[in-house]
């Protein structure tokens, strides 16, 4: 009882934090059709500033860290990233009226990580005085990349199978149609047309075997995305140079303020995308609401194992849970658009931006921190 009431008090207090306030403010501003806008150049620069700051502090921390400490949390990050995609594959994709490739792409985006959500969690942890390993932010790519790779692989496997099935039934029809061709006379064109409709790929079906998904380009593309690039650049600069002076005088002091503005933009974006979500239906809304919390609690549980066995901090557990709960908003969509071209972007982007991210921010993070505080005593 005491635990529960403690937890609820902590949870409610968090909703009044400026971070959440700006998020909700942004939603309201967009809902009343205000003309208020943050220019795109400013938005991109703010994201860069936040991620390079997160990277810098991570890099400075790793410089002085015991690398063996990072092994178990890193492994759990990879496991969670892959698991999230499989969960989506066997829940969302099985629901009626949901196209399988759309569902896989959505699950991939929910497995990938949002730098902004991560930044919000770091701010809240600091303002609550919960300690965490600064290198914990560097878990980001260990969940992000495996999730995107898994999603693209699963989608390719599925598409290949569909194609094979289509081919098989095609062969039967072909056999029948050949009988009839003697009467008619344009078999070739008909066959090609049918193949296109069945598989979405106009190329020769015998290529199937050769169409293995190449994993390296997906990883490379993830690393080249602007979000991961900024994070890794910060990490590298933190590790290899002495950026403390510029970190303390510039990147760190501006962090909170820039984050509040980013939250405003994300709130505005969430409202604007609600329409897109409506188009793809209720199942996506349900998934996007449940998934961040479910994924977060799975990662929280894994993090607790690391907490008990290797002394991973409770703040670190919250960070692991947050990156599991978050869904990618900047770097993920272009990778998926290239990797699963047959998926409908409205489905995954709408789900992530309109529901997934607000839920992770406004429910997930306060929940995880409240839980950590209640557990930590």
Site for a second copy in 314-343 (CB under 8 A): 334
Q: If binding is defined by CB under 8 A, does position 310 make contact with a second copy?
A: no
Is residue 90 part of the contact set for a second copy (CB under 8 A)?
no
| Minimum CB distance to a second copy smaller for 140 or for 158 | 140
Which residues from 126-145 bind a second copy, rule CB under 8 A? Answer: 127
x-marked contacts with a second copy along 286-305 as a string, rule CB under 8 A: --------------------
CB of residue 115 vs a second copy: minimum separation in angstroms?
12
Q: How far is the CB of 219 from a second copy (least distance, A)?
A: 13
Q: Does residue 346 touch a second copy according to CB under 8 A? A: no
Using CB under 8 A as the binding rule, whether residue 258 contacts a second copy is answered as: yes
Any contact of residue 40 with a second copy (CB under 8 A)?
A: yes
- Cβ nearer to a second copy, comparing 124 with 154: 124
Of 281 and 334, which CB lies nearer to a second copy in the complex structure? 334
Q: Which is nearer to a second copy, 32 or 308 (CB)?
A: 32
Number of chain residues interacting with a second copy (CB under 8 A): 51
Alpha-carbon dihedral 50, 53, 58, 59, rounded to 10 degrees: 140
Our CB check for a second copy shows the closer of 3 and 250 to be: 250
From the CB of 340, what's the least distance to a second copy, in Å? 19
Q: Which residues of 177-207 are buried (b: 16+ CB within 10 A; e: fewer)?
A: eeeeeeeeeeeeeeeeebbeebbebeeebee
Q: State yes or no: residue 226 binds a second copy (CB under 8 A).
A: yes
Q: For residue 76, which of 314, 306, 358, 353 has the smallest C-alpha distance?
A: 306
Diameter over CA atoms, the chain? 84
Task: Confirm or reject binding of residue 74 to a second copy (CB under 8 A).
Answer: no
| Distance from C-alpha of 281 to C-alpha of 108, rounded to nearest angstrom | 19
* Tokens at 14, concatenated: 């968090």
Report which of 26, 152, 31, 96 is spatially closest to residue 284, judged by C-alpha positions: 96
End-to-end alpha-carbon separation of the chain, Å? 14
User: For the purposes of burial, counting CB atoms within 10 Å of the CB of 96, is it exposed (0-12), middle (13-18) or buried (19 or more)?
Assistant: exposed
**DSSP code string of 304-353:** HHHHHHH---HHHHHHHHHHHH---SSSHHHHHHHHSTTS-HHHHHHIII
- Under the binding rule (CB under 8 A), the answer on residue 44 touching a second copy is yes
- Name the token pair of 191: 């066959």
**What is the distance between the alpha carbons of residues 231 and 141, in angstroms, rounded to a whole number?**
9
Give the residue, chosen from 6, 7, 21, 181, that forms a contact with a second copy under the rule CB under 8 A: 21
Q: Determine the Cα–Cα distance for residues 334 and 336; give it in Å rounded to an integer.
A: 5
Host H or E run for residue 190: helix 187-199
42 or 211: CB nearest a second copy: 42
Binding status of residue 245 toward a second copy by CB under 8 A: yes
Nearer to a second copy, 38 or 95 (CB): 38
Note whether 312 binds a second copy by CB under 8 A: no
Distance CA 317, CA 315 (A): 5
Question: Given the rule CB under 8 A, which of 34-42, 60-68, 166-174, 291-299 is the region that contacts a second copy?
Answer: 34-42
Q: Which residues bind a second copy (CB under 8 A)?
A: 16-18, 20-22, 25, 28-29, 32-42, 44-45, 48, 127, 223-226, 229-230, 233, 236-237, 240-243, 245-247, 249-251, 253-254, 256-258, 260, 264, 334
């Amino acid at each position: 009882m005491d635990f529960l009431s403690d937890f609820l008090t902590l949870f409610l207090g968090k909703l009044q934090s400026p971070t959440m306030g700006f998020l909700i403010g942004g939603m309201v501003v967009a809902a009343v059709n205000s003309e208020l806008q943050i220019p795109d150049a400013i938005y991109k620069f703010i994201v860069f500033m936040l991620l390079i700051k997160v990277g810098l502090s991570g890099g400075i921390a790793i410089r002085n860290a015991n690398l063996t400490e990072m092994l178990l949390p890193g492994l759990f990050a990879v496991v969670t990233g892959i698991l999230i995609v499989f969960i989506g594959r066997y829940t969302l994709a099985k629901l009626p009226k949901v196209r399988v490739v759309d569902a896989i792409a959505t699950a991939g985006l929910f497995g990938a990580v949002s730098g902004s959500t991560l930044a919000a969690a770091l701010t809240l942890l600091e303002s609550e005085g919960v300690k965490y390993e600064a290198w914990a932010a560097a878990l980001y790519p260990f969940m992000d990349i495996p999730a995107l790779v898994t999603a693209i692989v699963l989608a390719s496997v599925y598409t290949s199978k569909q194609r094979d099935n289509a081919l098989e039934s095609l062969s039967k029809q072909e056999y029948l149609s050949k009988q009839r061709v003697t009467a008619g006379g344009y078999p070739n064109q008909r066959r090609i047309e049918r193949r296109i409709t069945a598989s979405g790929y106009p190329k020769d079906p015998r290529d199937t075997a050769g169409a293995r998904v190449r994993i390296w380009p997906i990883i490379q593309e993830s690393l080249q995305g602007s979000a991961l690039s900024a994070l890794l650049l910060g990490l590298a600069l933190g590790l290899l140079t002495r950026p403390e002076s510029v970190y303390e005088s510039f990147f760190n002091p501006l962090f909170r303020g820039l984050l509040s503005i980013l939250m405003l933009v994300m709130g505005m974006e969430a409202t604007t995308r609600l329409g897109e979500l409506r188009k793809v239906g209720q199942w996506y809304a349900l998934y996007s609401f449940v998934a961040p919390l479910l994924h977060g609690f799975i990662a929280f549980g894994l993090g607790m194992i690391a907490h008990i066995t290797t002394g991973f901090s409770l703040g670190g557990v919250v960070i692991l849970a947050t990156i599991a709960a978050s869904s990618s908003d900047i770097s993920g969509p272009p990778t998926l658009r290239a990797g699963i071209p047959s998926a409908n972007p409205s489905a995954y982007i709408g789900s992530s931006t309109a529901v997934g991210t607000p839920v992770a921010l406004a429910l997930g993070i306060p929940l995880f921190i409240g839980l950590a505080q209640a557990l930590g005593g």
